[in-house]
Amino acid sequence: MKKNWWKGLSVLILTYVILRGLLGVVPRQPILNESIRNVYFHVPLWFGMIIMLLTSAVYSIRYLRNGRFDDDGVAVEFANTAILFGFLGCLTGALWANFTWGEPWPNDPKLNSVAVGMLMYLAYLILRGSFDDEQRRARISAVYNIFAFAVFVPLIFIVPRLTDSLHPGNGGNPAFGKYDMDSQMRMVFYPAVIGFTLLGVWITELRVRLRRVKAALEE
């Protein structure tokens, strides 16, 4: 039980976030109106995704340094969960954009960058599928994973800032935190980031354990 306290914490935080997110008081903003509640779900999903991609890259580096198969398995499962979060982030974002920007997929550099980033990680999964030899698969996909993360970062954080974007914090727009969020919202937003990240780690942990059990059964 001692080791699992963070799972309880994750459930607790997410319950709090969902309750506060759906029932809590939010500031009235023009255009945004009630849809500002989505900031508790959409943004933390992306934060969680980026944290998990970083963890995945770190595990790939670890694999290359010490050659333990287990690290490669952890890296791929983190990437899988990150892709899932990415899809959910796209979905919540599309819903939000539909009401505030008028269409579910406006031609926005951040959206397109993210779509390309997802393609990059789907290519990672395809690359993994195209090897029969396990050692080779692990080593080469680890190399690609690190490379992909290094390209993903400028794609997400630099390219959208160079052009005009609808997203806050890009293309000269002020970031959301500047004046749209009051301290009430912060009390929900920051826990939401932690909660969704913990949920992602939980999903990943289950899949990694499944992978270990399968590997043990095969031996």
Q: Which is nearer to other proteins, 94 or 116 (CB)?
A: 116
Residue type, 87: F
Secondary structure (3-state) at 68: coil
Q: How near is the Cβ of 214 to other proteins at its closest, in Å?
A: 23
Nearest to 211 by CA among 134, 124, 126, 121: 134
Interaction between residue 139 and other proteins (CB under 8 A): yes
Interaction between residue 162 and other proteins (CB under 8 A): yes
d(CA 135, CA 141) in angstroms, rounded, equals 10
Stretch that binds other proteins, among 20-28, 125-133, 171-179, 200-208 (CB under 8 A): 125-133
Residue type, 132: D
| Interface mask toward other proteins for 15-44; x: CB under 8 A | ------------------------------
* Residue whose tokens read 């287990």: 70
Give the residue ranges of DSSP H helices in 101-181: 109-129, 134-157, 159-162, 176-179
Positions that interact with other proteins (CB under 8 A)? 64, 113, 116-117, 119-120, 123, 126-127, 130-133, 135-136, 139-140, 142-144, 146-148, 150-151, 154-155, 158-159, 162-163
